Amino acid sequence: MASMKFTSCALLCIWIFIGVASAQLTTNFYATSCPNVLPTIRTAIDTAVRSGQRRMGASLLRLHFHDCFVNGCDASVLLDDTANFTGEKTAGANANSLRGFEVIDNIKTQVENLCPGVVSCADILAVAARDSVVVLGGQSWAVPLGRRDSTTASLNAVGGNIPGPGQNLAALLTAFSNKGFTANELVALSGSHTIGQARCTTFRNRIYNDANINASYATSVRANCPQSGGDNTLSPLDVTSPIAFDNAYFGNLLTRRGLLHSDQELFNGGSTNAQVNRYATNPALFLTDFANAMVKMGNLSPLTGTNGQIRRNCRRTN
């Protein structure tokens, strides 16, 4: 009985803590202190994605994901290495892979000119991810704001927190459950692979060795990804509409045309099959669920109040 009471109390305390952290994030956080921050970010993203590289939208979305899944949404992923720590940029899941740092730098410079020392890099990442989705045709959502930036980063913290392209469904479910996400939210967030590209090294084993792959699709992808060499050659994650944020990714899974092993695991006779089917046939449901899951992800362990700092330069601490 005492153990049960302790467990109940512990769970209650945890939920109270999470509620307090989340409550400190508000969608109008900068309404007075920096009222033009959102239009400024939106314009910069529109320029970088619509007028620059469409792929950059996917890169910025991924940057936010890789930030939040390692010690929370604190912009630690943006920090360059220093004499005191080796940051996250050179970790296996990030090295030669994460992109968009210069876009964030540009936005930060503009925002600092507007409102010096007010808007965090972590909030810029969250808004940039949302705006990237919108530019590419996805649904918008209100981004809760008020995060602060970390004062350190750790390469070792990345290991085990970022799901890998070769993972099976059980590992994916565990990785997302560890962050508080349901199986349906795992599927929704995986739908971000409706945009962007992946390097040959991340899907080579799938296109040459997996059995659950469409034969003609495998042949077409092999043309750009040889069995040896060409590790950095790119292929679209969504072969149907690679620069449109839509539900085509799920239709690809139904026809065994998922690029990554981890993609196809979502539709491979397991517990997530039904949700993939739902999203493949109901684009509105996917877009709504994705937006809700992104808000939830943005609430992963934010630094608020007096914790952390507002970096003046996103690549280094003040």
Return phi, psi of residue 74, to 5°: -130, 10
Helices and strands counted in the chain (H then E): 14, 2
CA angle 127, 78, 202 (to 5 degrees): 95
Tokens for 243, please give them: 């620069």
For residue 245 the two structure tokens come to 């944020």
Separation CA 296–CA 231 (nearest Å): 34
Please tell me which residue in 64, 66, 193, 261 is annotated as part of the active site: 66
For 94, 99, 234, 308, the CA distances from 155, given in Å and listed in that order, are: 10, 17, 25, 19
Secondary structure E strands in 27-101: none
Active site residue 193: no
Residues 138-167 as b or e (16 or more Cβ within 10 Å = b): bbebebbbbbbbbbebbbeebeebbbebeb
Per DSSP, the three-state class of 219 is: helix
The length of the chain in residues reads: 318
Residue of 291, 306, 297 lying closest to 24 (CA atoms): 306
Cα–Cα separations (whole angstroms), residue 192 to 69, 111, 188, 246, 259: 15, 27, 8, 9, 13
CA distance 250 to 194: 8
Q: What φ, ψ does residue 103 adopt, rounded to 5°?
A: -65, -45
Q: What angle do CA 276, 282, 286 make, to 5 degrees?
A: 65
Residues assigned a catalytic role: 66
